[in-house]
């Protein structure tokens, strides 16, 4: 049974504006919205295009997850982890108080500077 769905689209230019402020701001931004294990897989700050795409995907996916939950469950940015199965299919792992709780289905697509994420919970 599907309890909720969420969708989010982002234009990478929003993330580019964040990136252009200062590289140290990007570090703080990542620490604020990413779990520590997600931060460990982050591309190098010097690879700007890859980093912008990587952050944009996570932003869209987490926003879609918030919408799927629709206040049924209180989530914080770090309660949502973007993961991949062995076949590279993405999914979302939810966390609560340091423990894994539920998983969400995740589909991500991109075209040029637009990234869209769809979540089913």
Whether 95 and 81 have beta carbons less than 8 Å apart is answered as yes
Contact assessment for residue 59 and residue 73, using Cβ atoms and an 8 Å cutoff: no
Question: Which residue, chain included where needed, has tokens 């792992």?
Answer: 93
What is d(CA 103, CA 109) in angstroms, rounded to the nearest whole number? Answer: 19
Write out pLDDT tens, residues 46-81: 888 999 999 999 999 999 999 999 877 889 999 999
Q: Taking the domains of the chain in order of start, what are their residue ranges?
A: 5-120
pTM: 0.91
Specify the fold of 5-120: Ribosomal Protein L22; Chain A (3.90.470)
Query: If pLDDT is split at 50, 70 and 90, which confidence band does 45 have?
Result: confident
pLDDT attached to residue 71:
75
């Amino acid at each position: 049974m599907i309890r909720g769905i969420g969708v989010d689209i982002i234009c990478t230019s929003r993330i580019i504006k964040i990136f252009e402020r200062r590289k140290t701001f990007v570090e703080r931004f990542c620490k604020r919205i990413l779990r520590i294990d997600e931060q460990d897989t982050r591309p190098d700050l010097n690879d700007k295009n890859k980093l912008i795409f990587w952050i944009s995907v996570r932003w869209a996916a987490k926003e879609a997850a918030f919408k799927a939950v629709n206040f049924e469950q209180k989530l914080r940015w770090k309660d949502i982890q973007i993961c991949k199965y062995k076949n590279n299919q993405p999914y979302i792992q939810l966390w609560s108080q340091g423990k894994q709780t539920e998983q969400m289905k995740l589909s991500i697509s991109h075209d040029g500077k637009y990234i869209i994420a769809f979540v089913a919970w």
